Structure 1
Amino acid sequence: MRRTTRVVVAAVAALACVAGLGACAQIPTSGPVRVSTADQDPQADLALLPQGPTPGAEPNFIVQGFLGAVVAAPTSPKEYQTAREFLTEDAAETWDPYASVRVVREPPMPDPFETGTDIEGAETLDVVVRATTIATLDTAGAYTEAAEPGKVSYQFTLTKVGEEWRISVLDNGVLVPANLFPTQFRATRLYFSAEGEDANSLIPDLRWFPRNSWRLDAVEELLAGPPEWLQGAARSLFPEGTQLASPTIQEADGDEPVAVRLSEQISSATGAQRSSIAAQISATFSEGAGRTVPVDLYNGTSRLAVDAVNVKLPATIVQAMFLKDDQLYRIDEDGRPVEHDLPVDLATLDPTALAVSPATKPIVVRDGTDRIVNVSVDGEDRPDIEGPDLAAPSVDKFGNTWTSGGTNDLRVLPASGTEVTVPAEWLGGRKVLSVSVSPEGARIAIVSHAPSGTQVQVAGIVRNDDDVPVGLAPPLTVAGPVDGVEEARWSGLTTLSLLTRDRDGVSGVWTAGVGGQPGAGGQSRQLPGLTDVQQLAAGVTDRGLLVVTKDGDLEHEETGVWQPLVEDVDLVAYPG
């Protein structure tokens, strides 16, 4: 949502009269009711028509009308034109709706005037609107949940212009009621190319854009390049200086390609780069459309030659595994448990965590809390990771085993067998509880603890030419309002499943979005009924979440209801 050579729509406020907009869903009639973990956005479009000031309206109704006109802006061709009719000329020229975007819990409404206020005799009056902030949206469309809801108040000063009240002073920025946020903003995953040789391996980054300009906003943000938290893990293929050459991007009819017109710099891109750029934009436009949306690239008005390429999105391919009675099992394609074909003897170990590489090997277990062992190596020397309070391991697609390493760094054992330390100064003074590398190997989710509480952060992974990690990008904090997180696992392209535990030992399972959660208006949400979970496993797969209860029952989700799969299970893990 950057403003460059064009005007873009920003955030919205709302009236109580539209607060009831929503959707209905069927609820299972048997078994415990638990919410699905699918990270989907219904992407419903809702057009609202703004109404201008009513002649003779009192100050509170002018403010209320202004809020109503603003809520219509993101889906109205008039955008903020009608909203500015409620302002004086000077205020209309200086008011910047893009400066501050707050997602608020309740629809903001004007406070009533104190008893005895002389409305008729006054020339100026102040009207206050109060709300509770639960999230913010920056100018690039990045969504951040507030760790604690914060009370905010907006003051409007109204002045008589002739015989009509108009707003003469107001704060820059706008408020977005949470229930209307997903109807006004579209959850949009941008896709950036991974660093390294494979430009068609795509890394998703979720943003939120106004629905009447989301395609244009998405392309502008792709042109701006990866965000800070993906620096070194993702890259831009656009030649430096490339900009949009058209102020609009229109959806094409049927299966016709969408025309994306760029400045002359795009002509310096190689044929392979142009093909990858078109694939990135196509993947961004296709999500939520129910079909593949083809893209044509233009240098101004000249169509560029672009070859079709196959892109790779993050996905968990290998089946989930579990440990029972010192034996490894896998869950086959039909969802049935079968004994793993790898002979493993764990009788001499105290397995407390299990991890498997997306490349099938290595398979590692944490022995107690101070050693991580590669159990997929038989009869060969196998280096272990040893040290106090090791976090449950994660194994990436390159065969690197990750765990904690005290403060300021992580410990990684590559497939080569030579352990490396990955620095992360932002972990200073914090104990790492959980690490989880995403399927494509470019992102890591870390849960850490300090006296101030637990924190969930996601960062890009910087690797050398041998795919060994050498550093992490600055982190992005997610799931701000979720307390007591013990474990985080990737359960969607940009979604994490979280295991929490309160001071009484009662567990909870949450889903949270990296950049907001599609289908939930950006907010983290708890899955109802899960209070006895000992461990969870998740993957970027249609198979869904797996949990092990305190009684050792392995359960899986079917259409929102949890069903028992295997009894007396010790550990479970998806690859990653």
Structure 2
Amino acid sequence: MGADRDGGTRRRPRRAVAFAACGVVLLAGCASMPDSGDLSGVDSTPGQDTLVQVFAVPPPEDATPTQLVQGFLEALTSDDPNYEMASQYLTEDAAKAWRPKAGTTVLADGPDAFEVSKQRGPEETGETTFALSGTKVATVDEQQSYAPAEGGYEALLHLSRDPKTKQWRIDKLPQGVVMGQGDFERNYTAVNKYFFASNGVTGSSRQPAAVADPVYVRERVDPMTQMVRSLLKGPTSLLRPVVRTAFPTGTALAKGVTTLMPDEQNKLTVPLNDKAARVGLNKCTEMAAQLLFTLRSLSPSIEEVALESGDRQLCSLTEGPEAAAARGVTEQAEHLYFIDEEHRLVRMAAQEGSRTPEAVPGALGEGQTQLRAAAVSRDEQMGAGVSRDGKQLFVGSLVSGGSLGEPVLRSAGKSEGDRLTTPSWDAQHNLWIADRNPDDPRLLLLENGAGKPLEVRTPGLDGRIESVRVAADGVRIALVVAKGDTSSLYIGRIEREAKPGEDRPIVSVMELRSATPGLEEVTTVSWAGDSRLVVVGREPNGVQTLRYVQADGSTPEGPAPAALTGVKAIAATENDQVPLVAYSEDGIVRLHSGGQWQKVVTDGTAPVYPG
């Protein structure tokens, strides 16, 4: 399930539909159906081939209540596009009222179901109730947005027997669907849809920044058409306040369009309704760029998108959508940076090659001010360094002869651990950093890396910020937040609001959401894709782990990074062609995709790529 397919495993070729046991078609789990008693649960199927298509079966003639509930729960895990087979387990009124696409609840295992005991049996009363239970792992809402969840799940299914046909059917049930984690992973895939940053946020090329909005779609239920419909409906609630879409309000697929498929030249034609009929060429190009960004995260082979409305072609985009917007970092990182044994900022080629570091041009590489951490602007023209004791922040240009000047920020924290964090540059040349002083903890922003620091509002923050990493899109930020004995990764959106009568904006980080519910102690983090991060942390059993996570807290497709012990810092870029770098007990080490960790230098700390 990887939304960042540019940095993870590509989609494998689709196989033919498979048919197996459990009758004529393959049923999820292939569980037997007892005719009485409690259900042991619809077991999730983690070992099943993710490309095998699964069909549901209609309710058996004269099915018992237990068989009916079992069959219904299994039908929820099938590849039936509109859950028509699952609806056959419901009464006519219940089927009309049920909205299966209202959301998905994901449980650690398949839902357990047991019949609620009554003084009189169902054969006497003509009705019965089953209780569903389980442990929640996540939810996917109606916008297809994933969110980690915890706690218990409880719901009721009420059944009644038709007095004429004597057939049992479900007449009351919760909205949405429920399934185990294994079935969820088989049924759904994560894909990014793309919008443009609003409020003037641009990429490093000064074009509008393309922002990835990860959603989950059903993998074998025409995912391409699902993604186009999802894009036309607009962004999810988390990003809606900070992004815009080029599609006019009310734009949808033209009436009668049910499936979208590229032709033999990998060109996709998208017929739209009349809401898009009057768009100009520039607006249409932006619309096509959104579609290309979105669909290439699902199917990288698509080469062209053509938009139509009525009998008229609006525009066609064959060149890279980067002509309309900046996705991620437009310039590939030239150098890897770190602090050497003399506490200077040094650099070396980002790709495989020379392993001999050189001091960066300018004062940060001269060693007169000893450093413990640093950050380099995305264009590699400016650097920021935190003094060795963590008290001061210096900013200087990376050119020969450049002076450092006075510190732009000071912390009054009494110990090194209570002072400044490693800074982070955004694509607009602004510098972000947190002061961990317990008496005055703050998240700060220095516009263009200079001037009076602007205090960033963080409503809802519960804990102290230990690490700050701003995404290349400029509208999302990753914060490692410590509270008590735990430290967790949170992702929030960056909002900028004009302040009446003043030139400087009000900047806030809103709706912070946990992205690593399975880790007790997050040590370090770095963005590693449009919506993917690489995280180092400790699991509840005390074992340190490296893993990729999506910005929504889900786990992407593809293998985790190769194991490495004693990791203290991690560095990645949004470009998966650039190796992952870490500072561990072996010094600075590097990992190319599909390879093993290799030592770069023994004496070095705090590695960073531009950003």
Asked whether the two chains share a fold, i.e. TM above 0.5, the reply is yes
Number of the residue aligned with 1:314: 328
**Structure 2 equivalent of residue 136 of structure 1:** 139
Per mean C-alpha deviation after superposition, the further-off stretch among 57-66 and 111-120 is 111-120
Give the secondary structure class of the aligned counterpart of 1:570: strand
Of stretches 495-504 and 390-399 in structure 1, the one that deviates more from structure 2 is 495-504
CA distance 1:223–1:71, shift in 2 (3 Å) = same
Instruction: Supply the distance in 1 between the matched residues of 2:453 and 2:519 (Cα, whole angstroms).
Output: 32
1:240 matched residue in structure 2: 249
The letter for the 1-side match of 2:71 is G
Counterpart amino acid of residue 599 in structure 2 = P
2:341 is aligned to 325
Distance verdict in 2 for CA 1:57–1:443, change over 3 Å: same
Shift of 1:573: 0.8
Unaligned residue ranges in structure 2 (runs of 5+): 1-26, 32-42, 414-418
Q: Does 1:535 align with 2:535?
A: no
* Distance in structure 2 (CA, Å) of the matches to 1:221 and 1:562: 39
Please say which of residues 224-233 and 163-172 is displaced more in the overlay. Answer: 224-233
Q: Secondary structure at the residue paired with 1:134?
A: strand
Looking at structure 2, the residues matched to 506 and 474 of structure 1 have their Cα atoms a distance apart, in angstroms, of 32
**Residues of 1 paired with 2:44 and 2:290: CA distance?**
36
Q: Is the 8 A contact 1:206 1:516 kept in 2?
A: no
Q: Do the aligned partners of 1:188 and 1:206 also contact (CA within 8 Å) in 2?
A: yes
SS at match of 1:251: coil
> In the alignment, does 2:549 pair up with 1:512?
yes
What is residue 459 of structure 1 aligned with on the other side? 492
Q: Which residue of 371, 387, 390 maps to 1:351?
A: 371
* Aligned counterparts of 2:489 and 2:356: Cα–Cα separation in 1: 34
Give me the whole-angstrom Cα distance separating, in 2, the residues matched to 1:323 and 1:572.
Answer: 7
Whether contact under 8 Å (2:274, 2:309) holds in the other structure is yes
Q: How far, CA to CA, are the matches of 2:598 and 2:573 in structure 1? A: 18
- The change in CA–CA distance for 1:558 and 1:141 in structure 2 (over 3 A counts) is closer
By how many angstroms is 1:120 displaced?
Answer: 5.3
Confirm or deny that 1:83 pairs with 2:98: no
* Shift, 1:139, TM fit: 0.7
CA contact (8 A) 2:521 2:537 kept: yes
Partner in structure 1 of residue 380 of structure 2: 360
- What residue number does 1:28 align with? none
Structure 2: distance between partners of 1:200 and 1:181: 35
TM-score norm. by structure 2 comes to 0.78
Q: Which of 358, 364, 375 is equivalent to 1:340?
A: 358
Q: Secondary structure at the match of 2:106?
A: strand
Give the CA deviation at 1:206: 0.7
Q: Residue 444 in 1 paired to residue 444 in 2?
A: no
Distance 1:411 1:217, change over 3 A: same
Q: Does 1:547 align with 2:582?
A: yes
Q: Determine if contact 1:457/1:475 at 8 Å carries over to the other structure.
A: no
Distance across 1 between alignment mates of 2:350 and 2:586: 23
How many residues are treated as equivalent by the alignment? Answer: 536
- TM-aligned CA deviation for residue 123 of structure 1: 2.4
* Structure 2 partner of 1:260: 270
| 2:300 corresponding residue in structure 1 | 290
Q: What is aligned with 1:221?
A: 230
Residue matched to 1:52? 58
How many Å apart are 1:208 and its aligned residue?
Answer: 0.7
CA contact (8 A) 2:581 2:588 kept: no
2:179 maps to which residue?
176
Percent identity over paired residues: 24
Over residues 249-272 of structure 1, what are the superposed CA-to-partner deviations in whole Å (9 max), with x where a residue is unaligned?
411232253222222232332211
1:105 alignment partner, one of 76, 101, 108? 108
Q: Are the equivalent residues in 1 in contact too, given 2:520–2:540 (CA < 8 A)?
A: no
Cα deviation, residue 345, structure 1: 4.5
Superposition deviation, residue 549 in structure 1: 1.3
Using the size of structure 1 for normalisation, the TM-score is 0.83
How big is the shift at 1:140? Answer: 0.6
Whether the 8 Å contact between 1:402 and 1:435 is mirrored in structure 2 is: yes
Kept after mapping to 1: 8 A contact 2:262/2:302: no
Matches within 5 A, 1:401-480: 401-405=431-435, 410-415=443-448, 417-426=450-459, 430-451=463-484, 453-462=486-495, 470-472=506-508, 474-477=510-513, 478-480=515-517
What is residue 153 of structure 1 aligned with on the other side? 154
| 8 Å CA contact 1:193, 1:199 repeated in 2 | no
Which residue type is aligned with residue 572 of structure 1?
A: P
Structure-2 residue corresponding to 1:40 = none
Q: Distance in 2 between matches of 1:464 and 1:62?
A: 55
Query: Residues 324 and 431 of structure 1: is their aligned pair in 2 closer, same or farther, counting only changes over 3 Å?
Result: same
Tell me by how many angstroms 1:336 deviates. 3.9
| 1:396 maps to 2:426 | yes
Deviations 1:511-532 (A, max 9, x none): 22112546449xxx97674441
CA distance in 2 between partners of 1:19 and 1:338 (Å): 51
Q: How many angstroms apart in 1 are the aligned matches of 2:87 and 2:304?
A: 38
Of 135-144 and 184-193, the range deviating more from structure 2: 184-193
Return closer, same or farther for 1:526/1:255 CA change in 2, 3 Å cut-off: closer
Distance (whole Å) between structure 2 residues aligned to residue 244 and residue 226 of structure 1: 17
Alpha-carbon distance, 1:66 to partner: 0.9
Q: Report how far residue 494 of structure 1 moved.
A: 0.7
Structure 1 residue 136, shift from structure 2 partner: 0.6
Aligned amino acid, residue 395 of structure 2:
N
> CA–CA distance in 2 between the matches of 1:355 and 1:568?
19
Q: 1:569 to 1:127 in 2, by over 3 A?
A: same
In 2, are the aligned partners of 1:190 and 1:206 still within 8 Å (CA)? yes
Looking at structure 2, the residues matched to 167 and 464 of structure 1 have their Cα atoms a distance apart, in angstroms, of 50
Whose RCO is larger (CA < 8 A, sep 6+)? 1
RMSD, aligned CA: 3.4
SS state of the match for residue 249, structure 2? coil
User: How far is 1:496 from its partner?
Assistant: 1.4
Structure 2 contact 146–554 (Cα < 8 Å) conserved: no
In structure 1, runs of 5+ residues without a counterpart are: 1-12, 25-43
Query: 2:11 — aligned with what?
Result: none
